[in-house]
Structure 1
Amino acid sequence: MYRLLVFLFVLITAACRNDSAPLSEDPAPAAPPASPRDAKPVPKFDRDSAYAYVEQQVNFGPRVVNTDAHRQTKQWLVEKLEAFGAEVIKQDFEARAFDGTNLSSTNIIGRYAPELPDRILLAAHWDTRPFADSDLEDDPNAIVNGADDGASGVGVLLEVARQLGLHTPDIGVDIVLLDAEDYGKPSNTNSYALGAQYYAKNAPTPKPRFGILLDMVGARDATFLVEGYSEKYAKDVVRKVWQLGEQMGYGNYYVNARGGTVIDDHFFINTIAGIPTIDIINLQEDGDHRFPAHWHTGDDNMDVIDKRTLRAVGQVVLAAVFREAAGTL
């Protein structure tokens, strides 16, 4: 009887503590249940840190290939990845743009546990569009800062890299920051993602088993519909990541509906390198434009960035890495 009374007292006390806990304005969704396989815990993604990394890129100015801002950003990205414990490879290459411009470009690869043959690819592009060509932009001379289109994905991956340096999962991770993605002509799909095309033909071995690309992952009220090529080439990865997002309380971002196909970096990684890769990208369900209104306009600046969206992406990516390492994704 005494043991029963003690047990009931503990239950009541715990319930009271939960009921009296202070409420946060923006509580973090709960992580998935712990793995039964002694998995390492998923680190907490710091959204403020990710936001600062996005802001720093924007402060450099538009990261158009061949500009001083591009060169300064390259040096900063290499230094950050090295500071976070990655083995850094710089893939320098020359690419010819659709208008004949020679683009001196660099893919920046940060490798964690390079000795492990089982690897995951996490990617984003770090360059920006050289001109505003959206039909929603009235000023053809508008400056495209690329806060969302470019910097948001890189900012998330820098925070992921920082966490990987502190909490190493039992799997290899290649963080690939791709260059020369956005210097293309709409009528020529092969003129885009030049860095991804180079990487796909020159990926360090062993190649990652699958990949996750981040593009435009920082805007408020973002919706990550299921992109068509992701579903075609990496359907199982899409299913797992979207389910994980739902389980972690981010179902309002990870919408289980089709969003059409996008010729993005992941397309060439899938078709040339043969690495099943998905694209987490902000796609619209309604309206005449499938991308957010600030895409390829002068409005793509820090005003559109929401820390909650950065966390919704970064926390799920971190969870996917650590769950995959434990065999429970």
Structure 2
Amino acid sequence: MTVKNMNFRTLRLPLAALAGLLFLTGCPEKKPSETADTSAPAEAKLPKAPVFNADSAYAFTAKQVAFGPRVPNSKAHRATGDWLVAKLKSYGLKVMEQPFEAMTFDGTNIHARNIIAQYQPQAARRVAIFGHWDTRPFADNDKVKKNAPMDGASDGASAVAVALEMARQLSLQPDSLAPNVGVDFIFFDAEDWGHDDTTQQDLKNQLDGSGTDSWCLGSQYWAAHMLPANYKAEYGVLLDMVGAKNGKFTREETSRTNARTALDKIWGVASQLGYSDYFRYEDTGGITDDHVYTNRAGIPTIDIYHYNSPTDYFPAYHHATTDNMAIIDRNTMKAVGQTMLQTLYVD
């Protein structure tokens, strides 16, 4: 994930309207989370939806991790991307690749690619499922192995795995059991090579003042070069860090501000499915993540990510070598994946 926990997804104070987004790049001022409603509104009976297979999602996570750290310019990164493209094509989806080059905050020139796969590409109504498939090149939040390579099992791989299992399940449905929307699975690259003002104070951010955020390079590129061209969706969901034990997801401020209808819908579905222990009716401050740029591009997007506590924001494994398969939990992935699949079937 981006400065999460003051690491990637630069944490911010609660944001005003999106048009006036101001991102804090240092240690974010944190405030106690604001508790909103304690229960979801009553919902009609949920329609039938495919069953999300958590074992499959777990295996997809392990497969990505097995390639090695998915750092742009590396063999592991290239191999993982090729595997993702082949896997999505095997489900009969329309797959597009969006290669791009970028410079990171430390002056590294990288070759990257966003991967887009469309289910029911002919459908006029569309929903976007976003995630990032790269890993941070250094575990700068690690207390023992600072700056060592990291697996990114939850931060990146779990989100892609949930999306892959959603795509697999949808591909198995006959036309009579398909949802009334097309679904676009959009995997961003180079999301996690950003400058953390807390852990990297000794390093200069060479992108500072350039107009480019050091985080979320792939989503920034996609937002400026839409693929498909002139892309529109009713709403988008950014999945990030959705695979660890005891996952907790709160109603993040940028999500509430820009995609409240989608957020209420998803949290309501989760409640009906019995997943309110994961999807908390708790309002928390905004963070800088890929959804900032998809919202700017006109796609109302929420961010589902592991929120730790009012004082830490992100869990201890964030940007640390402990983000490995040992923390991955099928129950968390089931809660997220089943909720997302079910939501696609609720008009």
Give the shorter-chain TM-score range: 0.7 to 0.9
1:53 aligns with 2:28: no
For residues 124-150 of structure 1, what are the alpha-carbon distances to aligned partners after superposition, in whole Å with 9 as ceiling and x for unaligned?
10000000111x522224321000000
Tell me the distance in 2 between the aligned counterparts of 1:73 and 1:258. Answer: 35
Structure with greater helix share of residues = 1
Q: What amino acid does structure 1 have at the position aligned with 2:130?
A: A
Partner-residue secondary structure (3-state), 2:213: helix
Q: Which range moved further: 190-199 or 163-172?
A: 163-172
Give the deviation of 1:34 after TM superposition.
4.2
2:196 corresponds, among 165, 186, 194, to: 186
Q: What amino acid does structure 2 have at the position aligned with 1:61?
A: G
* Equivalent position of 1:172 in the other structure: 182
Runs of 4+, deviation exceeding 6 Å: none
- How many positions carry a matched residue from both structures? 286
Partner-residue secondary structure (3-state), 1:191: coil
Q: Higher RCO, 1 or 2 (CA under 8 Å, sep at least 6)?
A: 2
Give the deviation of 1:196 after TM superposition.
0.6
For residues 215-272 of structure 1, what are the alpha-carbon distances to aligned partners after superposition, in whole Å with 9 as ceiling and x for unaligned?
000011111011111111111111111111111100000001122211000011112x
Tell me the distance in 2 between the aligned counterparts of 1:297 and 1:290. Answer: 15
**Pairing of 1:29-48 with structure 2 (within 5 A):** 33-35=45-47, 41-48=48-55
* Equivalent position of 2:95 in the other structure: 88
Q: Which range moved further: 258-267 or 75-84?
A: 258-267
Tell me the distance in 2 between the aligned counterparts of 1:314 and 1:32. Answer: 20
Tell me the distance in 2 between the aligned counterparts of 1:84 and 1:137. Answer: 41
**Pairing of 1:1-329 with structure 2 (within 5 A):** 33-35=45-47, 41-134=48-141, 136-167=142-173, 168-187=178-197, 190-203=213-226, 204=228, 205-271=230-296, 273-286=297-310, 288-323=311-346, 327=347
Q: What amino acid does structure 1 have at the position aligned with 2:65?
A: V
Structure 1 residues 34, 139: closer, same or farther in 2, change over 3 A? closer
Q: Which range moved further: 240-249 or 183-192?
A: 183-192
* Equivalent position of 1:14 in the other structure: none
Tell me the distance in 2 between the aligned counterparts of 1:295 and 1:259. Answer: 18
Tell me the distance in 2 between the aligned counterparts of 1:268 and 1:310. Answer: 25
Q: Which range moved further: 197-206 or 93-102?
A: 197-206
Partner-residue secondary structure (3-state), 2:341: helix
The answer (yes or no) to whether the contact 1:120–1:209 under 8 Å persists in 2 is: yes
Gaps of 5+ in 2: 1-42, 198-207
The answer (yes or no) to whether the contact 1:32–1:247 under 8 Å persists in 2 is: no
Tell me the distance in 1 between the aligned counterparts of 2:291 and 2:150. Answer: 23
Partner-residue secondary structure (3-state), 1:284: coil
Partner-residue secondary structure (3-state), 2:72: coil
- TM-score for both structures, normalised by structure 1: 0.84
Partner-residue secondary structure (3-state), 2:244: coil
Partner-residue secondary structure (3-state), 2:345: helix
Give the deviation of 1:78 after TM superposition.
0.3
- TM-score for both structures, normalised by structure 2: 0.80
Compute the RMSD of aligned alpha carbons.
1.5
Structure 1 residues 317, 32: closer, same or farther in 2, change over 3 A? farther
Structure 1 residues 229, 34: closer, same or farther in 2, change over 3 A? closer
* Equivalent position of 2:35 in the other structure: none
Q: What amino acid does structure 1 have at the position aligned with 2:341?
A: L
